[in-house]
Structure 1
Amino acid sequence: MLKIAKGRVSYLAVIGAILFMIVQVIANLNLPSLTSDIVNNGVATGNISYIWKVGMKMIGFSLLSICAAICNVFLAARTSQKLGQNLRSDIYRKVMGFSTDEYNQIETSSLITRTTNDVVQIQNVAIMMLRMMIMAPIMLIGASFLAYSKDHTLTLVFVVSLPLLAIFMGIMLKFAMPLFQAMQTKTDRINRIFREGLTGVRVIRAFRQDQFEQDRFEDANVDYTKNAINVNTIMALALPVMTLVMSGTNVAIIFFGAKLIGSQAMQVGNLIAFMTYAVQILMSFMMLSMVLIFIPRAQASAKRIQAVFNLRSTMTIADNPETLSADTHHSLSFEHVTYRYRNAEQPALTDIDFSAQSGQTVAIIGGTGSGKTSLINLIPRFYDIEKGQIKLDGTDITKLSLAGLRDAISLVPQKATLFTGTLRENMKYGKPDATDDEIWHALEIARARDFVEAEPEGLDLHVEQGGGNFSGGQRQRLAIARALVKQSAVYVFDDSFSALDFKTDADLRAALRQDPHIQQSITVIVAQRIATVADADLILVLDNGHLVGKGTHAELQANNEVYQQIINSQIRKGDND
């Protein structure tokens, strides 16, 4: 846990919290002694002036204790909240820097739990440590010493009460700690099932699995609830046992103290002070035990968070990255590229070799699972290749910075993703300084201008989470427009025309070919339909991760068996091409 906190908290604030806590404890420890003095030297002798004098000291120590406590709580709370803020920021920044390989190693639901619940556990323990963890040992030692100074004989009572309390707390720790540690895993499970239910609600309803999913969530919820009830039941025993031990200790102190007073071996004021110190000793021991209970849970959370920080990217980053030239002529080449997914036995792509120049359109086609998406994911370095080279403008992409490489690429993924906000904000996602004219131009090319203009708000139209207020085809066209707003060297469309009808598909591709900027860039299209790829300058045919053909539509139609099979599966026999 200390490793997690290092560099994420203000050391001055921590030192300040500790100093104020020491002041508070010292002030609290002086109050019983002052009470003893008032009883022994003021009340017993009827000395009113002495009572007022010592009473004013007590008020002073009380005010000092209150002020120190306020300052300690403020600094402890500020430190713990700052720690949580920095942890959440660092986790998010780390996750955003993951390659797809690293991202796949930890479930999304678990990442959410680690960023929220696990961070809260660490925050709670941080404030407990700056409060109780510091207060408990100081007060325990100080109260024990002062109690002994009042009467060393009565301190023998603690020889019985403290071991009893220690035995109980030990038993409670033994049973509570495993349950606390299991809470985080069970929280992960609830988050995972809940998230799957929300994202897959249409599939669930379509297959009438509502009850099955409800039962699945109920099982996870009941499991978590039972675990929480068990651990809280164990923790609930702490207060009554503590009360029993404290009451028994006070009875023993009064019993033996009365005998000492009767024999004039002890003053009444000292007995009152001793009882107060006894309460402070037992409370300190209890606080220390409570902290020790919560530390293992926070430690488990810290390990889960540290596991995220410990994930090392498999991508090699150049120490002195090169920059792309400002030349308007661009080139993209794959030179005998082989790629294998993490822990996979067989490569997903083998010996992929092709090149393209500015103004050319490269189309990729093949059966399901042939490696089309895997191939285009290599261009922006979502994954790193095993063999070969990928070059952009003649430079190996591993020698470019990730920011510089991805600035040169506009990608439209298979799933059209829109973000909550306005349409204008979504369109500016790749180019924050884009003008409205540039946005309308991109919408025109993407064949999205008509339905946007039909809305009274225009570019200020509100976009719901995930673009839920648009149809699938509209989301697809808006995602394409967003990519076109950003002027890039390479435009990649990963099966981005699948939700479009044939006419819109044809019109959109024609508009792309006529756009002056696109004519200076390289366009890479992944598609399933022959009609979408037929007019490409270069068509790559993939089959089980192998490049089994490349050329124009006419060349492949005449000579490539796999391409012919795709044509025959999409065009009825007797139809013209």
Structure 2
Amino acid sequence: MLKIARRNLEWLPTMLAVIFLCAQVAADLYLPTITSDLINKGVLKHDINYIWHMGGMMLLVAAIGLLVAAGNVYFASTQAMKVGAKLRKKIFAHVLNFSSEDVNKFGDSSLITRSTNDIVQIQNVMVQVLRMMLQSPIMLVAASVLAFNREPRLSRVFWISLPLLGVAVVLIMYFAVPLFRSIQQKTDRINLIFREGLTGVRVIRAFNQDQREQERFRVANEDYTSTSTKAFIIVSCMFPVMTLILSFTNVGIVWLGAKLIARMTMNIGDLIAFMTYSTQILISFMMLSMIFVFIPRAQASAKRVNAVLDHPLTIQDPQSPVTVDPNQPASLTFDHVSFRYESAEKLALNDLSCQVKAGQTLAIIGGTGSGKSTLVNLIPRLFNTDSGTIKVNGEDISKLTQHDLHRLISITQQKAVLFSGTIRSNMQFGLPHASDEQIWHALKVAQAADFVKDAGGLDAVVEQDGANFSGGQRQRLAIARTIIKPASIYIFDDSFSALDFKTDAKLRLALKADPAMKKAVMVIVAQRISTVADADTIIVLDDGEVAGQGTHAELKAHNRVYQEILDSQLKGGHKNA
């Protein structure tokens, strides 16, 4: 919490909040003194002018207290909300730079919880810190001193009430704090199940697992509810306990004060002032104890947020990066590249070497889990290689900044991702200032122009995840977005899988004929032989190993793995193709 406060609070508004708070406490503490003087010197002596004078003073002090309290609330709340806004901004910016390995360490649902629920907990406590946590100790100490100075003999009542309050607070914190800490983890669990249910709703329905998923969510929801209920029941016990102790304290003060008044050793105004101070002391103690109950939950949230913000990026830009001229001839080189996922015993990719130049197409084919997507993810440096080097346009990608490297690469991922908006806005992800002519050209190459016209043109609405388009249409829109970006390397990671054979063939012919593609390197990952057959170089992967490399004709004639893939797709195809 202290680290977050130090990094994100603005010192001037924070100081103003503290100054206004001190002024509010001073006004609250001055009112009992005015009340005492009004009764002792005005009411008891029947001095109407003094009563009017002190009454006006009370109104003035109360008005000042109201104004400074409003100032404190304004600066405290705005600072707390700004801290939340800064944290969300920092987390979002930091997570965008995460590699896939970094994201997997936290998990999608946990990152969402940390950037929403956890930050809300921090915001709430930050307001309370700038309000009650500063106000309560100041009020507690100042009211105690003033009460003792007003009537030391009545202070004996606090010798019993304050220890009782202390014991009550310690017991409540002992039982409540662990529950509040576990609530955040249970929130992660609910978000995970809910997110899986939303993203996998079609699979759930297809396998008739609605009841199973509802039961899984019910168990997690009831677990969260049960823990939260226990925590808040325990915390809610504080108010009746505090009220009971406060009531007995006031009874004790009145009983003891009545004896002193009967002996003519204390004025009635002093008793009323002391009772007001005692109420302020006990309420301040109660407010302070409430803060200490909720701070552990915010502290747990702060640790979770700091864990994200302080997490070192596995992909770091070099200290002395080199620059690459995007206009120089394109090339892609793999030089003995090997890669292993974290904690994996076996290499996911082992000793791969290959080189392709501008105008050439590199195709990658292999069975499921053979390492195709792993190889593709190494090119834009979404992972670091274990050994070997990858060069783009003649430069080692580890010597380039990620910004410069990604500027040279345009990629269609295995899962076509579209953003809510319009077709135009999605295309402009690839080229922010793309004209309509450029967008239509990319759509025509991607064989998407016809259905885009039918949908209403470039201003047609794209729902979240492109839900209003079919799988093949989403893939073609994603391909068009890749094509529209000027790049040296164009990567298509199994992005033709949802296309029929006719559309697949037309799209590949359009890509080969496109002038921009003739100056760049194309990397195509595919499962179908027909998609990769006309590539200049085909790499056959089998369980992370390079099982073969060459043209379609060469692999068809001599490579066993390639022949098996060919056989599985075209009966006898390796003999007749």
Helix, strand or coil: the match of 2:105? coil
Partner of 1:89: 89
Partner of 1:2: 2
Conserved in 1, the CA contact under 8 Å of 2:337 and 2:388? yes
Conserved in 1, the CA contact under 8 Å of 2:471 and 2:498? yes
Determine the C-alpha separation between the residues in 1 that align with 2:268 and 2:56. Answer: 21
Partner of 1:556: 555
* Cα offsets for 1:169-207 (capped at 9, x unmatched): 110010000111111001000000000000000110111
Determine the C-alpha separation between the residues in 2 that align with 1:327 and 1:444. Answer: 25
Partner of 1:335: 335
Distance 1:3-1:503 versus aligned 2 partners, 3 A rule: same
Helix, strand or coil: the match of 2:116? helix
1:110, distance to aligned residue in structure 2 (A):
0.7
Determine the C-alpha separation between the residues in 2 that align with 1:285 and 1:316. Answer: 49
Partner of 2:129: 129
Conserved in 2, the CA contact under 8 Å of 1:336 and 1:351? yes
Conserved in 2, the CA contact under 8 Å of 1:333 and 1:390? yes
Determine the C-alpha separation between the residues in 1 that align with 2:210 and 2:129. Answer: 45
Determine the C-alpha separation between the residues in 2 that align with 1:573 and 1:240. Answer: 84
Deviates more, 1:384-393 or 1:302-311: 302-311
Determine the C-alpha separation between the residues in 2 that align with 1:470 and 1:4. Answer: 43
Q: Extract unaligned runs of 5+ from structure 1.
A: none
Say yes or no: does 1:489 pair with 2:488.
yes
Helix, strand or coil: the match of 2:152? coil
Determine the C-alpha separation between the residues in 1 that align with 2:525 and 2:257. Answer: 89
The residue type paired with residue 398 of structure 2 is: T
Deviates more, 1:48-57 or 1:405-414: 48-57
Q: Extract unaligned runs of 5+ from structure 2.
A: none
Partner of 1:422: 422
1:286, distance to aligned residue in structure 2 (A):
0.4
The residue type paired with residue 234 of structure 1 is: I
Helix, strand or coil: the match of 2:168? helix
1:69, distance to aligned residue in structure 2 (A):
0.2
1:568, distance to aligned residue in structure 2 (A):
1.2
Conserved in 2, the CA contact under 8 Å of 1:349 and 1:545? yes
Distance 1:168-1:326 versus aligned 2 partners, 3 A rule: closer
Determine the C-alpha separation between the residues in 2 that align with 1:237 and 1:543. Answer: 64
Helix, strand or coil: the match of 1:7? helix
1:315, distance to aligned residue in structure 2 (A):
2.3
Helix, strand or coil: the match of 1:105? helix
Determine the C-alpha separation between the residues in 2 that align with 1:420 and 1:20. Answer: 46
1:328, distance to aligned residue in structure 2 (A):
4.4
Conserved in 2, the CA contact under 8 Å of 1:332 and 1:393? yes
1:544, distance to aligned residue in structure 2 (A):
1.1
Say yes or no: does 1:45 pair with 2:59.
no
Partner of 2:533: 534
Determine the C-alpha separation between the residues in 1 that align with 2:326 and 2:224. Answer: 57
1:327, distance to aligned residue in structure 2 (A):
2.9
Helix, strand or coil: the match of 1:104? helix
Distance 1:34-1:22 versus aligned 2 partners, 3 A rule: same
Determine the C-alpha separation between the residues in 2 that align with 1:446 and 1:115. Answer: 37
Conserved in 2, the CA contact under 8 Å of 1:328 and 1:520? no
1:209, distance to aligned residue in structure 2 (A):
0.5
Helix, strand or coil: the match of 1:351? strand
What aligned pairs does 1:248-287 form with structure 2 within 5 A after superposition?
248-287=248-287
* Cα offsets for 1:14-71 (capped at 9, x unmatched): 1111110000000100000100000000001111111112122211111110011000
Helix, strand or coil: the match of 2:115? helix
Helix, strand or coil: the match of 2:220? helix
Helix, strand or coil: the match of 1:298? helix
Determine the C-alpha separation between the residues in 2 that align with 1:5 and 1:549. Answer: 58
Determine the C-alpha separation between the residues in 2 that align with 1:517 and 1:238. Answer: 71
Partner of 2:117: 117
TM-score scaled by structure 1? 0.99
Determine the C-alpha separation between the residues in 2 that align with 1:6 and 1:494. Answer: 45
What aligned pairs does 1:288-367 form with structure 2 within 5 A after superposition?
288-367=288-367
Partner of 2:139: 139
The residue type paired with residue 425 of structure 1 is: S
Conserved in 1, the CA contact under 8 Å of 2:348 and 2:544? yes
Helix, strand or coil: the match of 1:6? helix
Determine the C-alpha separation between the residues in 1 that align with 2:20 and 2:171. Answer: 34
What aligned pairs does 1:131-280 form with structure 2 within 5 A after superposition?
131-280=131-280
Partner of 1:386: 386
* Cα offsets for 1:355-377 (capped at 9, x unmatched): 00000000001111110000010
Determine the C-alpha separation between the residues in 1 that align with 2:14 and 2:168. Answer: 32
Partner of 1:518: 517
The residue type paired with residue 311 of structure 2 is: L
The residue type paired with residue 389 of structure 1 is: T
The residue type paired with residue 257 of structure 1 is: G
Partner of 2:568: 569
Conserved in 1, the CA contact under 8 Å of 2:326 and 2:487? no
1:8, distance to aligned residue in structure 2 (A):
1.2
Helix, strand or coil: the match of 2:315? coil
Partner of 2:23: 23
Partner of 2:438: 438
Helix, strand or coil: the match of 2:106? coil
Helix, strand or coil: the match of 1:365? strand
Conserved in 2, the CA contact under 8 Å of 1:419 and 1:464? yes
Determine the C-alpha separation between the residues in 1 that align with 2:285 and 2:152. Answer: 20
Helix, strand or coil: the match of 2:527? coil
Say yes or no: does 1:476 pair with 2:498.
no
Helix, strand or coil: the match of 2:404? helix
Say yes or no: does 1:412 pair with 2:412.
yes
Helix, strand or coil: the match of 2:93? helix
1:78, distance to aligned residue in structure 2 (A):
0.4
Aligned residues: 576
Partner of 1:458: 457
Determine the C-alpha separation between the residues in 2 that align with 1:376 and 1:458. Answer: 32
Say yes or no: does 1:102 pair with 2:102.
yes
Helix, strand or coil: the match of 1:369? coil
Say yes or no: does 1:397 pair with 2:397.
yes
